């Protein structure tokens, strides 16, 4: 062993490599020094992948730095081998990953797993060429060579779309001049937002700077991909998402890494993409929960992108709705608002009507059985008569099992066994979920009422009921089981769950019915009102303007602030009030909050080791759920919230990371889950 080691000579220049090993244990969250064998000197470059022996086994790692000496007092081991000389981890991406890990009380290994896609050797050996577009049957986004990117052609005319927004033209001019404006953009109803983003990207690219665009999912990628190809021309951008598969994703990642393109479009993992001379980051619909990483360290795309912003990087956060986090950026003066004047909003918006619980059911018997208000029924009927599609947004998919009394909302139970009643299949007679007995003669035990209603009507049942209300009209469904991307410009009922609404060809939907608004608003979540408005506005934005007969009917109390925001198309107004309310109550983003989740004993031990700032407040712990085995302590998970002022963020994350490291070193069997500013706080 000693003779073998003596036979290996370290590199003459900078013989020590500092390695980020792919070991996500918090107590090992640091760089480790290894000697570089002379035979691997040229291959082991900063950012390349290597294999090292760590705790008796070979693990992957990235070279973060080459230095002359090490501060480690003991003897250094040699690198086992070089996996690839490709420098996939740029220094700026390493520093970004370290910042995100520290801010989220996570580990560098967890962040690098998100930032760098797995290696694909064949893709690494290839040089991009137009044939990849033909082989993969993709858009022109893949049609580029390994040569430096071409210049984006000059536009023959000024983009008119941005002129509808206050300071919109000035925003594009600043991008073209190489400046770094920062804006929160409230899009107009019916806005062709992919074209607007493509125009902003073109202005930035013409100035010689790069662009990074992140959207929630593949449907937005498809729309923006087409817009970028149209505005920029072929070979100017790539798309990145996990759905591409290992080879295609890695080829596109390398195209950006090697500087073949300077515009990258993708979902949340693309927020870490290497982009040469980054000049603009764009985030669309930052309130969508798809922007939240479901794995450790549970970071939000907005946090990642804003961490990349330097003095010379512009920011555009856009959407039809607006989050409290975006409002905080405006309130602090860090960003400016891009919004249209009220007159422009009125010209583009459909007619929006709100109906509370005291609405009048339609006179039509079939429509009444579908629980449609007369106003909603007429709006749908008129749009269908003009051969236009009608969008129906339903909060839940499928059949919702629980029923309640329509008069007093008391839960409907079986008279025999007290089990909950449900509607099964297309049956109109409720049945007990426990004993299966039909309850055709049900009577409420509280108010003696005889009429039932579902707690929430699911998408499938809504489709059945509306099909009976509008016989002969095609009914299409879009939801989790099968999402429809687009529907033709013809009479049809389109039943969709929030977020799965298809685009309507032509000018858009003739009408939209937003059902069961109270079910969205009464969810026990901090973001219930904000998320409800986002879902409503995203659906209403697909409807034609009032001048073309477009109508939206929302089943919610018109006196609520969130409903008023929809009626007035005033997302910034609502976000301002939402942020003020959260500041008063002490909730994010006005403060920083950590959510700790775990078994009671593990959570108690974890919390006992925290050295919290004096200003910290503890909320809980409270039980979250019980396992199917019963009420045993082992089956219960508890939640503890820790709230601190924003100025104490670093102190909070440091003590959380230290506690995680201690638990990891002890090899605790039940690790505690740590989330900073979690998306869901119930």
Q: What is the pLDDT of residue 302?
A: 98
Burial 72-104 (b: 16+ CB within 10 A, else e): eeeebebbbebbebbbbbbeebbebbbebbbbb
CA distances from 137 to 59, 123, 141, 142, 252 (A): 36, 17, 11, 9, 15
Q: What is the pLDDT of residue 1?
A: 44
Burial degree of 353 (CB within 10 A; 0-12, 13-18, 19+): middle
Domain edges within the chain: 2-115, 121-345, 349-582, 592-676
Q: What is the pLDDT of residue 436?
A: 64
What is the C-alpha to C-alpha distance for residues 43 and 64, in angstroms, rounded to an integer?
A: 14
Please check whether residue 297 is in contact with residue 111, taking contact to mean a CB–CB distance below 8 angstroms. yes
CA distances from 393 to 81, 280, 390, 516 (A): 56, 34, 10, 9
The pLDDT-based confidence of 392 (bands split at 50, 70, 90) is very high
The DSSP call for residue 387 is T
Burial degree of 301 (CB within 10 A; 0-12, 13-18, 19+): buried
Q: What is the pLDDT of residue 458?
A: 61
Burial 468-495 (b: 16+ CB within 10 A, else e): ebbeebeebbbbeeebbeebebebbbbb
Q: Average pLDDT of the chain?
A: 88
Mean pLDDT of 171-196: 97
Q: Would you say residue 46 has pLDDT above 70?
A: yes
Nearest in space to 593 (alpha carbons), one of 25, 7, 104: 104
What is the C-alpha to C-alpha distance for residues 628 and 625, in angstroms, rounded to an integer?
A: 10
Q: Would you say residue 387 has pLDDT above 70?
A: yes
The pLDDT-based confidence of 333 (bands split at 50, 70, 90) is very high
Q: Which pLDDT tens digit goes with each residue over 2-33?
A: 545 557 899 999 999 999 999 999 999 999 99
Q: On the CB side of 508, how many CA atoms lie within 13 Å of its CA?
A: 25
Nearest in space to 305 (alpha carbons), one of 116, 542, 93, 450: 93
Neighbours of 307 (CB within 10 A): 15
Lowest-pLDDT range of 360-369, 481-490, 559-568, 640-649: 360-369
Architecture of domain 121-345: 3-Layer(aba) Sandwich (3.40)
Nearest in space to 69 (alpha carbons), one of 33, 41, 38: 33
Long-range (24+ apart) CB contacts under 8 A made by 257-260 are 257/86, 257/87, 257/88, 257/90, 258/146, 259/148, 259/149, 260/128, 260/144, 260/145, 260/146, 260/147, 260/148, 260/149
Q: Would you say residue 307 has pLDDT above 70?
A: yes
Q: What is the pLDDT of residue 456?
A: 55
Q: Would you say residue 135 has pLDDT above 70?
A: no
What lies within 8 Å, CB to CB, of 568 at 6+ separation is: none
What is the distance between the terminal CA atoms of the chain, rounded to a whole angstrom? 58
Helix residue ranges, H only, 50-163: 91-103, 108-115, 121-125, 131-136
The strand pairing partners of 453, in sequence order, are: 404
Nearest in space to 296 (alpha carbons), one of 91, 112, 116: 112
What is the C-alpha to C-alpha distance for residues 326 and 375, in angstroms, rounded to an integer?
A: 35
What is the C-alpha to C-alpha distance for residues 580 and 470, in angstroms, rounded to an integer?
A: 45
Q: Percentage of the chain surpassing pLDDT 70?
A: 85
What topology is assigned to 2-115 in CATH?
Answer: GIY-YIG endonuclease (3.40.1440)
What is the C-alpha to C-alpha distance for residues 545 and 351, in angstroms, rounded to an integer?
A: 7
What is the C-alpha to C-alpha distance for residues 587 and 34, in angstroms, rounded to an integer?
A: 45
What is the C-alpha to C-alpha distance for residues 622 and 682, in angstroms, rounded to an integer?
A: 11
Please check whether residue 233 is in contact with residue 152, taking contact to mean a CB–CB distance below 8 angstroms. yes
Q: Which pLDDT tens digit goes with each residue over 189-241?
A: 999 999 999 999 999 999 999 999 999 999 999 999 999 999 998 889 999 99
Mean pLDDT of 605-614: 95
Lowest-pLDDT range of 84-88, 128-132, 617-621: 128-132
Q: What pTM did the predictor assign? A: 0.88
What is the C-alpha to C-alpha distance for residues 153 and 147, in angstroms, rounded to an integer?
A: 17
Q: Which pLDDT tens digit goes with each residue over 427-486?
A: 568 876 545 678 888 888 878 888 887 655 566 777 777 877 888 999 999 987 789 999
| DSSP string over 311-379 | TT-EEEEEESS--HHHHHHHHTTSSEEE-B-HHHHHHHPPEEEEE-TTPPBPSSHHHHHTT-BHHHHHH
Q: Pick one of 3.30.70, 1.25.10, 2.60.40, 1.10.287 as the CATH number of 592-676.
A: 3.30.70
Taking only Cα atoms into account, the Rg of the chain, rounded to an integer number of angstroms, comes to 28
What lies within 8 Å, CB to CB, of 428 at 6+ separation is: none
Q: Which pLDDT tens digit goes with each residue over 342-372?
A: 999 999 999 999 987 655 554 555 545 556 7
Lowest-pLDDT range of 105-114, 260-269, 305-314, 460-469: 460-469
Q: What is the pLDDT of residue 315?
A: 98
What lies within 8 Å, CB to CB, of 157 at 6+ separation is: none
What is the C-alpha to C-alpha distance for residues 174 and 222, in angstroms, rounded to an integer?
A: 28
Q: What is the pLDDT of residue 636?
A: 82
Pairing of strands 636-644, 592-598: antiparallel
């Amino acid at each position: 062993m000693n003779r073998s080691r003596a036979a290996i000579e370290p590199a003459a220049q900078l013989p020590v490599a500092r390695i980020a090993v792919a070991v996500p244990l918090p107590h090992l969250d640091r760089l480790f020094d290894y000697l570089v064998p002379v035979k691997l000197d040229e291959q082991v470059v900063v950012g390349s992948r290597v294999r090292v022996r760590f705790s008796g086994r070979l693990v992957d790692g990235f070279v973060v730095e080459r230095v002359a000496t090490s501060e480690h007092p003991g003897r250094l081991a040699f690198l086992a081998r070089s996996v690839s000389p490709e420098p996939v981890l740029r220094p700026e991406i390493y520093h970004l990953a370290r910042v995100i890990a520290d801010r989220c009380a996570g580990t560098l290994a967890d962040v690098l797993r998100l930032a760098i896609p797995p290696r694909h050797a064949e893709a690494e050996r290839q040089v991009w060429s137009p044939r990849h577009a033909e082989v993969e049957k993709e858009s022109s986004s893949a049609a580029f060579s390994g040569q430096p990117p071409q210049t984006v052609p000059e536009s023959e005319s000024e983009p008119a779309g941005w002129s509808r927004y206050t300071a919109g033209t000035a925003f594009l001019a600043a991008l073209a001049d190489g400046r770094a404006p920062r804006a929160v953009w409230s899009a107009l109803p019916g806005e062709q937002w992919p074209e607007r983003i493509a125009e902003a990207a073109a202005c930035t690219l013409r100035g010689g700077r790069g662009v990074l665009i992140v959207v929630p999912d593949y449907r937005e990628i498809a729309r923006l991909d087409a817009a970028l190809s149209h505005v920029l021309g072929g070979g100017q951008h790539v798309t990145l998402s996990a759905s591409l598969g290992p080879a295609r994703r890695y080829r596109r990642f390398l195209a950006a890494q090697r500087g073949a393109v300077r515009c990258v479009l993708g979902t949340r993992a693309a927020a870490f993409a290497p982009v040469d001379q980054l000049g603009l980051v764009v985030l669309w619909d930052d309130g969508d929960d798809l922007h939240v990483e479901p794995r450790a360290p549970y970071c939000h795309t907005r946090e990642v992108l804003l961490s990349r912003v330097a003095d010379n990087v512009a920011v555009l956060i856009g959407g039809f709705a607006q989050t409290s986090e975006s409002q905080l950026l405006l309130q602090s003066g860090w960003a400016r608002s891009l919004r249209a004047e009220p007159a422009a909003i009125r010209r583009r918006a459909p007619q929006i009507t709100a109906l509370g619980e005291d609405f009048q059911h339609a006179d039509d018997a079939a429509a009444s059985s579908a629980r449609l208000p007369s106003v909603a029924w007429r709006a749908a009927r008129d749009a269908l008569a003009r051969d236009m599609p009608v969008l129906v947004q339903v909060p839940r998919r499928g059949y919702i099992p629980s029923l309640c009394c329509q008069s007093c909302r008391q839960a409907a139970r079986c008279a025999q066994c007290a089990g909950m009643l449900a509607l099964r299949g297309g049956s109109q007679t409720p049945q007990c979920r426990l004993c299966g007995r039909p309850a055709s003669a049900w009577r409420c035990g509280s108010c003696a009422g005889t009429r039932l209603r579902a707690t929430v009507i699911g998408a499938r049942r809504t489709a059945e009921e509306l099909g009976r209300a509008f016989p002969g009209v095609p009914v299409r469904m879009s939801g989790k089981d099968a999402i429809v991307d687009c529907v033709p410009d013809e009479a049809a009922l389109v039943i969709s769950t929030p977020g799965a609404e298809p685009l309507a060809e032509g000018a858009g939907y003739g009408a939209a019915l937003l059902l069961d608004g109270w079910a969205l608003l009464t969810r026990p979540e901090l973001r219930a009102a904000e998320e409800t408005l986002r879902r409503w506005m995203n659906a209403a934005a697909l409807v034609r303007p009032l001048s073309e007969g477009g109508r939206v009917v929302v089943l919610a109390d018109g006196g609520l602030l969130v409903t008023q925001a929809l009626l007035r198309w005033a997302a910034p107004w609502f976000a301002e009030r939402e942020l003020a309310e959260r500041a008063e109550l002490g909730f994010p983003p006005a403060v920083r909050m950590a959510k700790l989740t775990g078994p009671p004993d593990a959570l108690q031990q974890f919390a006992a080791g925290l050295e919290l700032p004096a200003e910290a407040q503890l909320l809980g712990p409270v039980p979250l759920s019980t396992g199917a085995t019963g009420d045993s302590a082992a089956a219960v998970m508890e939640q503890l919230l820790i709230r601190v002022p924003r100025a104490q963020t670093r102190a909070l994350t440091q003590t959380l990371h230290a506690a995680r490291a201690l638990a990891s070193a002890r090899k605790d069997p039940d690790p505690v889950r740590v989330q900073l500013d979690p998306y869901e706080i119930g």
